[in-house]
Amino acid sequence: MDKIEMNKKEMLEKKVWAVVGATNNKEKFGYKIWKKLKDNGYEVYPVNPKYDNIDGETCYPTLKDLPKIPDVVDFVVPPKVTLKGIDDANELGIEYLWFQPGTADEEVIDKAERLGKKIVFYDCVLAALD
């Protein structure tokens, strides 16, 4: 099992997640991933400054606004936004970062690795939970 597979396995065992880029739009991955995690028994916090709530649950503007520090942060945003999210996650001491396809570029991956984060990229939570 390679490092990414091991990280993925560890992350899926963690029960408190934040989804950066969660959305009210049921067609988008930001919604589908948040909902899939909830439906699979995870405690999951939506993070998106554009929304006050998603399906009646409080949506938080940033990771720093969460009532609880998550074990895992799942990014569903463009790489530029992901870069800022990595800084917030690092300040909060979050070790596990999952970059959905399209959310990470070389700069994102390099930064996360430089900071010693355990990461998954080019893999989708939806597929992992099926």
Per residue in 57-73, pLDDT tens? Answer: 999 999 999 999 999 99
Q: Smallest Cα–Cα separation from 97: which of 107, 105, 106, 89?
A: 89
Q: Is 126 domain-assigned?
A: no
Which domain does 48 fall in, by range?
16-69
Interval 82-92 mean pLDDT: 97
Asked whether residue 96 is assigned to any structural domain, the reply reads no
Is residue 113's pLDDT more than 90?
yes
* pLDDT score, position 122: 85
Q: pTM of the full predicted structure?
A: 0.96
| Each residue's pLDDT tens digit, 6-30 | 999 999 999 999 999 999 999 999 9
CATH of the domain at 41: 3.40.50.720
Number of domains in the chain: 1
39 part of a folded domain = yes
Q: Tell me the three-class secondary structure of the chain, residue by residue.
A: CCHHHHHHHHHHHCCEEEEECCCCCCCCHHHHHHHHHHHCCCEEEEECCCCCEECCEECECCHHHCCCCCCEEEECCCHHHHHHHHHHHHHCCCCEEEECCCCCCHHHHHHHHHCCCEEEECCCHHHHCC
Asked if the structure places residue 26 within a domain, the reply is yes
Sorted by sequence, the CB contacts under 8 Å of residue 123 that are 6+ apart come out as 4, 8, 98, 101
Q: Is residue 35 part of a domain?
A: yes
What confidence score (pLDDT) does residue 94 get?
98
Torsion angle in degrees (nearest 10) through CA of 44, 90, 74, 128: -100
